[in-house]
Structure 1
Amino acid sequence: MARSRNIKPSFFMNEDIVELSCEARLLFIGLWTLADREGRLENRPKKIKMSLFPADDINVSEQLSNISKYGFIELYNIDGIDIIQIVNFVKHQTPHGLEKDSELPDQDGLYTVYDRNPKNKTIVGKPHLLNKDQLAEFYNKSLISIDTNGVKTHQEQITDTESEQLKQDNNSYETVSISDQNALIPESFNLIPESINKNICPSNDEPVPEQANQNFKNEIQEIFEFWKTTFGKNDRTKLDNKRKSKILTRLREGYSVEEIKNGVMGCSKSDHHVQGQFTDIELICRDAVHLDRFIGYSQQIRFIPKTPEPERIDLSKYKVVEDRVW
């Protein structure tokens, strides 16, 4: 089942990506939408073609081979299943917390699974790598009963871990609403950090910037103050956890302070949002799709039509008859 993934414009300016044909580039983008939360999907060229190019004559097998030569994907076989692994997928995308665990193993035959919050089923903590014969035990594990020493159940330990993470981050993590539990296709709105000088698939010795654990306290405050000034908010407008959470999430996705400020400016140029009072920073930073749209607005020049000057009448064209103009 295809899912929404987002790729920033710098993707198309990558020095290795541009060496691929247009067909290969479009195929690579399509693979992101077909891959699971670990960036894996079955290597079934005919099925991939029907999903991505139903009306085009494209040799998917050949293009997959071309993409793999540049190190963007890895092709391997485990237990008789041909698998495609998008390299560094988990570094560039943060799938929705409700998205199910991958059903495909990595190149070592290990499966990536997660603990889940018992209340909203979102993932908690770091992933576990298990062999195939350990999966059933993991998913069917029984809860640990509370003994006389006050040992908590496994699920309670998970809940406590999540709560502690929220406290450490000053309650700024974006929580999942109850309505999201009913989402049929959980989508990722987290983008590849934009930098035209960064390789999509860095080498092993190339450091990858880690922003996932940064709090961006000063940056959040700067953006909030800029938003208040732009829309003339008074001192009673507070930086609550909802606003802080949205800004933090966008910063962790790789958006710069200036980009988010541009989004604020873009919102201020939208008559629809200004007149409807849809200008809260929480809305502007609601997700990457909204923020990108507002950034686009900031680059538009508002057209203000000129008031036409009154037409001047040339009286020389008329004759005066008995002091009347005809």
Structure 2
Amino acid sequence: MEQIRNLDQLLEHAKAVGPKKISVARAEDAEVMEAVESARKAGIANAVLVGDEDKIKEVAASLGIDLANYEIVDEKGGEAAAALKAVELVSTGQAQIVMKGMVATANFLRGVLNKEKGLRSGKTLSHVYIHEVKGYDRIFFVSDPAFNMYPDIKVKVDIVKNVVELAHAFGVACPKVAALAAVEVVNPDMPPTIDAALLTQMNRRGQIKGCIIDGPLALDNAVSPHSAEHKGIKSEVAGYADILHVPNIEAGNILAKSIVYFAENKTAAIVLGAKAPVILTSRADSPETKLLSIATACALAAHQGK
């Protein structure tokens, strides 16, 4: 497939490989229902709505959504029960994607990680933001801005492997990974620079495959060829990074939200590392972001199903 370079192309790709089936945990959430209906109308995904059937019908009626287009699984046992049921539909093959509805993130993730019915894969769960930023010819993947707070080198390797697989699902055959730090030289007093250098060497020795990693790189010389050239950095990654691998949750969260609020952009997000794509959107996310997150999950599900 051709490389997806913007999120409109992602929507078209999701239509081409879809529709996939989403299992929604506690679907009695107006914003999530709107996103799921948009995805259905776009031909990207169909959904199984898990939760209190009476409340789901109330929400659907208020939005003018015809529930004849949906399967409903009535689960009135509360958040944890609905989350586990939604996850079970995916682990038993009745759906390909699980999505968080009106359920606390902790309860939702407990369902995902349930030992008997969940989606454990043995991998580290990690989060990624997918950004289309005006002025750039490609999509940026920022990881991990939300899950792993202060990952050690082992977890950082898992985070990179997770997001490289997602980049492959977007048609990026050999994604360029910038291991970010505050500077572009190794400084023993700055641990992120040491981890970045280790990731780079592990990639060169074949311990991390399917990508090219370089680091430490500061953000400017990761995305700006001019900056990289000015600083004399000779690298296949510098100036042309696809994946921005952040050293910790603060750096990732601030970077991702800076893009959302300070740049002209489109954004999606997804949780990686489970046996199936996991959509965990925020109430602050726009309807467009929710739809693009569903499209991302469909692209990944199609890639994993090959």
What TM-score results when the alignment is normalised by the length of structure 2?
Answer: 0.28
Counting strand residues as a fraction of each chain, which structure ranks higher? 2
What TM-score results when the alignment is normalised by the length of structure 1?
Answer: 0.27
